[in-house]
Chain A
């Protein structure tokens, strides 16, 4: 079920909200758990059992690790077994085809395999589970003895499918005690509507421009068309994914939870290092805490530091998709970060802000080519066209049409990628007292109605990050 679907907005969510607020406190988690299981089963009924088995296994494993904490060796063995089972599940469902396909291509063998459909959200909930298991082992959190609360942590529908990846330590207390309030509920609605508008009004609309460019026959794409297609995808993925995160945070607030922000205007970054502090923050934090720092982080020799960075970025790429273009995308960032850290960092600081912005956004856009291309070969093919090789001229009628007919949209997207609109709005209306509430209601109400007007005629438009 999509957040941006009529059935979610007008049936599922209202029913769950009503149920949640009328039942006594002790049943609230049960309502949310049931809702989350229904939400997940709606799209992938067959994989609900995978999730249930996964919950049971990790719940028991958490208990096992916790009781062995005094014997570190035994606890470690239990931890390793748990991590291996979780990664094996993720590996089987997500990487089996990629791994065996690559082996078949490289070696003189033909290993037969059957590929199952990817269980939606498996990358996200596996990482959440691992954060719990590792933190129990480290003694950072207390083991969760309530199966229902643990199941709710894993399945919570607001962030189940596409994050943010909520670490157990961030939500442990909230699972037991959290405070709902009208104020928080209102904030939640605003977050949700903002996210919905990002997805429906901006991401879906600019996505059509990207689709148009992607559908152009090879040899018919001009340099400008290629850059416009890439820019369209750059905006689409940001507004799509950050829109989803806003909706997740908003829904969390409606049910009394506080999730950490996942995006902080990444396209205003002045370096790649800064970009990754602002993009998919929860994933970056996860890799830092559970991979980068355990490997030694930057408190090691230069050679080991380079290895650590490349390992983390190889895994980050692989996490996004079982294909070489995602691996290349990850390593591309690993290399850029190494270059910034050891060579470019000081020089970048001396450059004017505009140059730094251009430097960052161009490199990010080039990165997205690896991301949206179906294979590594087609990514390099697309990049060649962006830089003139094999292009249908520099500027053609198609590219001018794409630029001019969407001019207003391009402006909205550029401005919307910066904090200017939101901060100006907050600054101006926060001085207005009660009027602020009325203005909020009107503006967010109009945004919601606009989204609905779009949604009633759109039947299916999934979030880009669902495939991860």
Chain B
């Protein structure tokens, strides 16, 4: 009787380990592969925010504001402010290689710093938004957002990738 109990405990333990391995396999098959196209992430993000104060950026805008070449990456989503007093902005870059993350992050940090210098001193609301911007790098994706909806956008980004 005693031996049976011992076996049950060990059996349970190994069952949990098997469940853990299966869980990780599912995670690997679903996420982190860098397979999600930027278009899908854009759709997820635009479900939680509006284009107010922003306009779709072009590859020239990416070069102008971030110094990045769109062709170096697997995909780019860029929304830039649509007037001089707006700071709303979203950037999502899908990397070809994870070693590109540092370059994109640096470019995003520089963009934030430039925006901050531009608005500091007279654009109180804008400065607050810039100071609360979200910049994150996850796997093959880098995201920057300056928006009142930054939290929701960030959540949608994490969900989307």
What is the CA–CA distance of A56 and B116 in the complex, to the nearest angstrom?
48
> Is the beta-carbon distance between B12 and A60 smaller than 8 angstroms?
yes
> Is the beta-carbon distance between A115 and B10 smaller than 8 angstroms?
no
> Is the beta-carbon distance between B27 and A116 smaller than 8 angstroms?
yes
Q: Which residues of A are found within 8 Å of B27, using beta-carbon distances?
A: 46, 116
> Is the beta-carbon distance between A60 and B23 smaller than 8 angstroms?
no
- Chain B 98-118, CB-CB to A under 8 Å as 1, else 0, gives 100010011001101110100
Q: A46-B27, A459-B132, A459-B150 are in contact. Are A85 and B17 (CB under 8 A)?
A: yes
Selected from A56, A89, A374, the residue in CB contact (under 8 A) with B102 is: A374
Q: A63-B9, A117-B31, A459-B134 are in contact. Are A211 and B112 (CB under 8 A)?
A: yes
B148 to chain A, nearest CB (A): 7
Q: Which residues of B are found within 8 Å of A46, using beta-carbon distances?
A: 27, 31
> Is the beta-carbon distance between A212 and B116 smaller than 8 angstroms?
yes
- Chain A 114-132, CB-CB to B under 8 Å as 1, else 0, gives 1111000000000000000
- Chain B 15-41, CB-CB to A under 8 Å as 1, else 0, gives 011011001100110011110000000
> Is the beta-carbon distance between B113 and A212 smaller than 8 angstroms?
yes
* Cβ of B44 under 8 Å from chain A: no
> Is the beta-carbon distance between B32 and A114 smaller than 8 angstroms?
yes
A11 to chain B, nearest CB (A): 14
> Is the beta-carbon distance between A458 and B131 smaller than 8 angstroms?
yes
Q: Which residues of A are found within 8 Å of B12, using beta-carbon distances?
A: 60
> Is the beta-carbon distance between A53 and B128 smaller than 8 angstroms?
no
> Is the beta-carbon distance between B32 and A64 smaller than 8 angstroms?
no
| B-contacting residues, A36-63, CB 8 Å | 46, 49-50, 53-54, 56-57, 60-61, 63
* Cβ of B138 under 8 Å from chain A: yes
Taking each of A61, A114, A375, which has the highest tally of chain B beta carbons within 10 Å of its own beta carbon? A114
B130 to chain A, nearest CB (A): 10
| B-contacting residues, A265-283, CB 8 Å | none
- Chain A 209-236, CB-CB to B under 8 Å as 1, else 0, gives 0011011110000000000000000000
What is the CA–CA distance of A53 and B23 in the complex, to the nearest angstrom?
9
> Is the beta-carbon distance between A116 and B32 smaller than 8 angstroms?
yes
What is the CA–CA distance of A117 and B138 in the complex, to the nearest angstrom?
6
* Cβ of A72 under 8 Å from chain B: no
What is the CA–CA distance of A375 and B105 in the complex, to the nearest angstrom?
13
Write the chain B residue with the least CB distance to A68: B6
Q: Which residues of B are found within 8 Å of A54, using beta-carbon distances?
A: 20
* Cβ of B154 under 8 Å from chain A: yes
Q: A57-B13, A215-B110 are in contact. Are A460 and B20 (CB under 8 A)?
A: no
Write the chain B residue with the least CB distance to A57: B16
Q: Which residues of B are found within 8 Å of A457, using beta-carbon distances?
A: 125, 128-129, 132
* Cβ of B74 under 8 Å from chain A: no
> Is the beta-carbon distance between A116 and B112 smaller than 8 angstroms?
no
* Cβ of A97 under 8 Å from chain B: yes
B53 to chain A, nearest CB (A): 15
Selected from B16, B32, B150, the residue in CB contact (under 8 A) with A460 is: B150
- Chain A 397-410, CB-CB to B under 8 Å as 1, else 0, gives 00000000000000
* Cβ of B139 under 8 Å from chain A: yes
Q: Which residues of A are found within 8 Å of B113, using beta-carbon distances?
A: 211-212, 215-216
Known: A46-B31, A53-B16, A215-B113. 18 other contacts (CB 8 A): A49-B23, A57-B16, A57-B20, A64-B9, A85-B20, A114-B28, A114-B34, A115-B98, A116-B27, A116-B28, A204-B131, A215-B106, A215-B112, A215-B114, A457-B125, A457-B128, A459-B151, A460-B154
The 4 tightest CB contacts between A and B, nearest first, are A215-B113, A458-B132, A457-B128, A459-B150
Provide a sorted-by-A list of 27 A–B residue pairs whose CB atoms are within 8 angstroms.
A46-B27, A53-B20, A54-B20, A56-B16, A57-B13, A57-B17, A57-B20, A85-B17, A114-B34, A116-B24, A116-B27, A116-B28, A117-B138, A211-B109, A211-B112, A214-B109, A215-B109, A215-B110, A374-B102, A375-B102, A457-B125, A457-B129, A458-B128, A459-B132, A459-B151, A460-B134, A460-B154
B residues at A contact (CB < 8 Å)? 6, 9-10, 12-13, 16-17, 19-20, 23-24, 27-28, 31-34, 98, 102, 105-106, 109-110, 112-114, 116, 125, 128-129, 131-134, 138-139, 148, 150-151, 154, 158
